[in-house]
Amino acid sequence: MLTNEQLSTFRSQLINAKKEVEQQLKEGDHFDLERGHLHGSVGELSSYDNHPGDEATELYEREKDIALNEHMEKELKDIKYALEAIENGTYGKCEKCGKDIPIKRLEAIPTTTYCVEHSPTQVVSHNRPIEEGVLMTPFGKFEFDEQDAEAYDAEDSWQDVARYGTSESPSDLSDPVDHYNDSYIESDDIVGYVEDYENFIATDIEGKEIIVYPNNQHERYEEDLDEEGLMTIFGDLPAYEKDPYTEEEAD
């Protein structure tokens, strides 16, 4: 139960807060919303000679003004409701359960008329704006997403497009790149094959009779194996056949 002195203190705080909010709304013309169309708040007569980017900026600012105005009007409404509760003798008691609201809670939120357990604002909404459905990353909702698949998927499509340029610059990347054309996500991914040896290994239609076609990538692959002290995964292979492209005997 609040004492008369405590009630008087809260009444004074609420009255001062009410005057402050009303003064802000009056001096700011309710965030210029009383001017009507958003052009009035920026001194424009029409959209005819305005750049679309400028129009978008003005629209964003207008939406922000509406949100701020709604917030302050809601605050003013809560203050008036709390003052009415003081006059009715119900201030300091929860509207839901009737228990006394802790003094610490009233000091933090003088406008509250609920205890913590029954506060209508304690549930946090997880609803997201519908626009986020089209503002998601270019991949994230297709057939092979969240799968370790070797098939050509939406992420591969994005990489093919991104190699022609994005709004990102090399300075936007966490790891430095050697060339501006590599300034996109996972630019070092292998394109067209999975393993390096697929560039110089071939088989017949039944997957048998492995054939090695010597080329520069094959030489680098062998050098890497030698440096690591590893054996090829192909086992003992027959002598290299003729390279069908150069018609030269392999060493």
List of domains in the chain: 4-108 (1.20.120.910), 152-189 (no CATH), 193-251 (no CATH)
pLDDT given for residue 43 in this prediction:
64
Sign of CA dihedral 21, 27, 33, 36: positive
pLDDT tens-place string over residues 33-86: 776 666 666 666 666 677 777 778 888 888 888 899 999 999 999 999 999 999
Query: pLDDT in tens for each of the 251 residues of the chain?
Result: 788 899 999 999 999 999 999 998 888 888 777 766 666 666 666 666 777 777 788 888 888 888 999 999 999 999 999 999 999 999 999 999 999 999 999 999 999 999 988 888 777 777 777 777 666 655 556 666 667 766 777 777 777 888 787 777 767 777 777 777 777 777 777 666 667 777 778 887 777 777 888 888 788 888 888 887 766 555 444 434 444 444 444 44
**Residue that the structure tokens 């946090």 belong to:** 124
Pair of tokens at residue 83: 């003052």
pLDDT given for residue 140 in this prediction:
54
Judge contact between 218 and 224, C-beta under 8 A: no
**Residue that the structure tokens 């909010």 belong to:** 21
Q: Which stretch of DSSP H or E encloses residue 208?
A: none
Cβ neighbours of residue 221 under 8 Å, at least 6 residues apart? 196, 197, 200
pLDDT given for residue 193 in this prediction:
67
CA 103-107-112 angle, to 5 degrees, is 85
Cβ neighbours of residue 182 under 8 Å, at least 6 residues apart? 188
Cβ neighbours of residue 219 under 8 Å, at least 6 residues apart? none
pLDDT given for residue 37 in this prediction:
64
Judge contact between 199 and 215, C-beta under 8 A: yes
Read off the DSSP letter of residue 100: B
**Residue that the structure tokens 């750049």 belong to:** 51
pLDDT given for residue 36 in this prediction:
64
pLDDT given for residue 14 in this prediction:
94
